[in-house]
Amino acid sequence: MSSWRDRINKFTGKTRFVVCRIFLHLAGDEIAPVLGVLNHAAREAIDAEGDLQVLGEGLVEICQNLLQMSLYWQSAANEGDVFWEEGEAGDYVTELFTDSAQRYLSAVITEDEEDNTPLSFPVTRNLVVMITVAVTGEVPELETNLADRNALEDGLKALINLHYQNRLQGIQVHYSPAQFGDELTNDQLLLNFSELIPL
């Protein structure tokens, strides 16, 4: 039924919106640099007041870094939906944003908070990155189960390409823990990110 509706909407010239959220859990002693990349991209986004081009450049940097750190990928999950009304797509983006922001230790730190961090701190062994995007058109690489290493790799590469194709309509990145010194334990991981599937 939905494919029939898709064909009708295409025929009438409606824009197709794909909204999806990717969860990626990394683990190991070497993952701290990823947190640095995430915080740098977050500060750039805040300074640019949400400019989509700057957000896209940050997303490219994050995806490239995650691809380089594939050795540390532990588990993943994804969810999403297709919309033919921009307002409905926007509502779903807001819903995913709110959920991601409420996840354990998920936040963005500012420059002022970073200045007050101690010189030594425990290094987290777990990091969960949550990427939410709204895209126009069809994106087969994102409209599939990404709880598979090859599919996830293709999905992250697709996000990079979507930025350069100017098809991204919305970008949000959350991560837990959000700052150096906070720790996401294995128990907290299971409790707060139950949708993750081992890779």
Tens-level pLDDT at each residue, the chain (199 residues): 345 455 555 555 689 999 999 999 999 988 888 888 998 998 898 888 878 999 999 999 999 999 999 999 999 999 999 999 999 999 999 999 999 988 876 554 444 444 444 444 456 789 999 999 999 999 999 999 999 999 999 999 999 999 999 999 999 999 998 776 678 888 889 889 999 999 9
Q: Kindly state whether residue 2 falls inside one of the protein's structural domains.
A: no
Report if residue 62 sits inside a domain.
yes
Range of the domain at 155: 15-198
Find, among 93, 60, 42, the residue nearest to 164 by Cα: 60
Number of domains making up the chain: 1
Whether 7 is in a domain gets the answer no
Q: Which token pair is 62?
A: 């994050």
Q: Is residue 4 part of a domain?
A: no
Of the candidates 23, 197, 6, which has an alpha carbon nearest to the alpha carbon of residue 106?
A: 23
Residue 9 lies in a domain: no
Owner of token pair 């069809």: 138
Distance CA 144, CA 175 (A): 22
Does any domain span residue 91? yes
pTM score = 0.86
DSSP code for 72: G
Whether residue 3 lies inside any domain: the answer is no
